[in-house]
């Protein structure tokens, strides 16, 4: 598709989009480009209209794509054509005003408190570097709610042992400070002591590493979390994002303020955080029916 690479470079260097988002946008643009090449060979960007985009939406829905994924792809096109419009490459944005399919309101999947207690209090982790690293990863996500990409981007220097906190760099390079519990700070010290024994470690600043001293990548973190959650839950979804949902849900269940959860999670707006209130409201309804004499 015309100007795709220049657009992605703009997102990377000027807007500071995460590598994960850049991969998603590249895939979305490639898929739209393939659709246009198949249905409208030789079409140029200034010729693309809302008619072409609506046709792509229909083709995606006919293939059974989830409405949430379709929304993301159209959002990508909106940003792409807005950039082209600003650069003077197209006259208007054909993705504006597109009617999108209705999204199902899927509640966030989370792990029960009892299951998390079992995982962290029982003997699931070995005492070597790998076991301690894996436990530290799972605790880090569960205790802070950070995203997987934020976790793999952590450096040793982001930890403030004196203040018992950690500096997290989120989307668009925005930073936030998250407090850490005293037991977890001790865990981090234990992990760093073992980490320092790995050869060639001196040159690597990333907090979480492989056994060979290299940076731990997103897929490895996903596999670690999935394998350990498999031991304590039968939920179909077992991922770092489920641990993030678990953090938010457990905090809200125990009375945390929604605005505070928003800050912990690094959400840009409160609307993104409010999805967790559906889970907590379900718990409140159950308590109400059990406790109120006229319920």
Question: CA angle at residue 192 from 186 to 198, to 5 degrees?
Answer: 155
Please say if 267 is a catalytic residue: yes
Which candidate in 73, 147, 195, 238 is catalytic?
147
Please say if 71 is a catalytic residue: no
Cα gap 46→93, rounded to integer Å: 10
Which candidate in 244, 245, 250, 262 is catalytic?
244
Which candidate in 12, 171, 215, 226 is catalytic?
171
Cα gap 53→220, rounded to integer Å: 36
As a whole number of Å, the CA-based R_g of the chain is: 22
Which tokens is 33 given?
Answer: 């480009």
Torsion angle defined by CA atoms of residues 198, 200, 205 and 209, in that order, rounded to the nearest 10 degrees: -40
Count CA atoms closer than 13 A to 168's CA, side-chain side.
24
Residues constituting the chain: 295
C-alpha to C-alpha distances, 65 to 56, 57, 69, 101, 224, nearest whole angstrom: 12, 9, 7, 11, 28
Cα gap 100→179, rounded to integer Å: 40
Please say if 241 is a catalytic residue: yes
Q: Which residues are catalytic?
A: 147, 171, 241, 244, 267, 276
């Amino acid at each position: 598709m015309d100007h795709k690479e220049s657009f992605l470079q703009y997102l990377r260097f000027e807007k500071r989009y995460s590598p994960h988002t850049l991969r998603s946008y590249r895939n979305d643009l490639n898929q739209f480009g393939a659709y246009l090449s198949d249905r409208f060979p030789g079409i140029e960007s200034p010729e693309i209209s809302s008619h072409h985009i609506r046709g792509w939406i229909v083709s995606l829905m006919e293939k059974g794509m989830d409405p949430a994924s379709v929304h993301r792809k159209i959002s990508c096109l909106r940003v792409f054509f807005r950039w082209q419009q600003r650069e003077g490459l197209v006259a208007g944005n054909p993705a504006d005003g597109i009617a999108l399919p209705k999204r199902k309101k899927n509640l966030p999947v989370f792990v029960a408190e009892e299951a998390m207690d079992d995982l962290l209090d029982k003997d699931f982790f070995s005492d070597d570097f790998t076991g301690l690293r894996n436990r530290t990863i799972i605790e880090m996500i569960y205790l802070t709610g950070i995203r997987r990409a934020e976790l793999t981007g952590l450096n040793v220097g982001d930890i403030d042992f004196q203040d018992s906190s950690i500096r997290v760099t989120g989307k668009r390079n925005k930073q936030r400070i998250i407090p850490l519990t005293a037991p977890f700070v001790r865990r981090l010290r234990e992990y760093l002591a073992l980490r320092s024994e790995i050869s060639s470690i001196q040159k690597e600043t990333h907090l979480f590493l492989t056994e060979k001293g290299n940076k731990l990548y997103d897929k490895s973190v996903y596999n670690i979390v999935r394998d350990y959650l498999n031991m304590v839950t039968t939920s179909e979804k077992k991922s770092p994002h489920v641990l993030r949902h678990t953090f938010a849900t457990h905090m809200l269940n125990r009375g945390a303020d929604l605005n505070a959860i928003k800050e912990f999670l690094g959400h840009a707006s409160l609307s993104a955080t409010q999805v967790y209130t559906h889970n907590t409201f379900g718990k409140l309804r159950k308590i109400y029916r059990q406790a109120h004499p006229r319920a």
